[in-house]
Chain A
Amino acid sequence: QVQLQESGPGLVKPSETLSLSCTVSGGSISDYYWSWIRQPPGMGLEYIGYIYHSGSTNYNPSLSSRVTISVDTSKNQFSLKLRSVSAADTAIYYCAYYGANDSFDIWGQGTMVTVSS
């Protein structure tokens, strides 16, 4: 069974870059799409983007100017970079597997990132 685990700093300063990684275990990253989704405290879910193992990406248009998602197949990891962050980017960040059912089938436990000086 595929499992996902997010990792990265829990605190980022305003205007800096948020960087997170997601490690895939129990399966190969060379399979379907790998996504990032976030959830501000007490609020709903927001799709950030996905990457295919080949490296092709898709981003939420509202975030696309600040987002980069990359993949490292040798480490079975994919990563998120969000530039020029502000307090509005404070959220729980989830990585998720988007599979053949066309749904976000498997989720990581999530990691809280706070943007504050």
Chain B
Amino acid sequence: QSALTQPASVSGSPGQSITISCTGSSSDVELYNLVSWYQQLPGKAPKVLIYGDTKRPSGVSNRFSASKSGKTASLTISGLQAEDEADYYCCSYAGVRTYVFGTGTKVTVL
């Protein structure tokens, strides 16, 4: 199972919106409504931001939103803040009860 493809880095200025893509295949992202997104602050464990393709857990800022079209899922961060500087990973169920993570995207706030 190959890792999902994400851009290595995305940057934006405070207040701007940025979007991170996550491209998989017809066997994972496209087939199941089970894409989740995680934020990993430096030196910390990942934290779930999105589940079920587009749903946000309680307590997660509504500045984080997600969508999916075909084999590509996307995470959008609106109103970018300095505290959003982190690594972001997507994850998809890939059948046979296995999961595949994305390659990770480093977000830099300029």
Q: Which residues of chain A have a CB within 8 Å of any CB of chain B?
A: 37, 43-47, 50, 58, 60-62, 94, 101-105, 107-110
Does B52 contact A108, Cβ atoms closer than 8 Å? no
Interface-centre pick from B36, B45, B91 (highest chain A CB count, 10 A): B45
Complex partner residue of A104 from B3, B46, B96, B98, CB under 8 angstroms: B46
Q: CB < 8 Å: which of A43, A45, A47, A62 contacts B46?
A: A45
Residues of B within 8 A of A94 (CB): 45-46
Task: Report the nearest A residue to B32, measured CB to CB.
Answer: A102
| B49 vs chain A, min Cβ distance (A) | 9
Extra inter-chain contacts (7) besides given A94-B45, A103-B51, A107-B47, CB under 8 Å? A37-B101, A50-B97, A101-B51, A101-B52, A103-B36, A103-B91, A104-B91
Interface string of B27-56 (1 = CB under 8 A from A): 000000010101000001111101110010
Contact among A58, A102, A107 for B45, CB-based, below 8 A: A107
Of chain B, the residue at the smallest CB distance from A62 is: B1
Q: With contacts A102-B34, A102-B36, A103-B36 known, is A58 near B47, CB below 8 A?
A: no
Q: Are B57 and A47 in contact (CB under 8 A)?
A: no
In the assembled complex, the Cα of A94 lies from the Cα of B50 at a distance in Å of 19
Say yes or no: A44 contacts B98, CB within 8 Å.
no
Listed by A's residue number, 28 A-B pairs whose Cβ atoms lie within 8 Å are A44-B102, A44-B103, A44-B104, A45-B38, A45-B101, A46-B101, A47-B99, A47-B101, A50-B97, A58-B96, A58-B97, A58-B98, A60-B98, A94-B46, A101-B57, A102-B34, A102-B51, A103-B48, A103-B50, A103-B51, A103-B52, A103-B91, A104-B36, A104-B91, A105-B48, A107-B46, A107-B47, A108-B45
B109 on the A face (CB < 8 A): no
Complex Cα–Cα for A104 and B100 (A): 12
B64 on the interface (CB 8 Å rule)? Answer: no
A96 to B88: give the CA distance in the assembly, Å: 17
Cross-chain contact B48 with A47 (CB below 8 angstroms): no
Contacting residues, chain A, for B55 (C-beta < 8 A): 101
Residues of chain B with a CB closer than 8 A to A60's CB: 1, 98
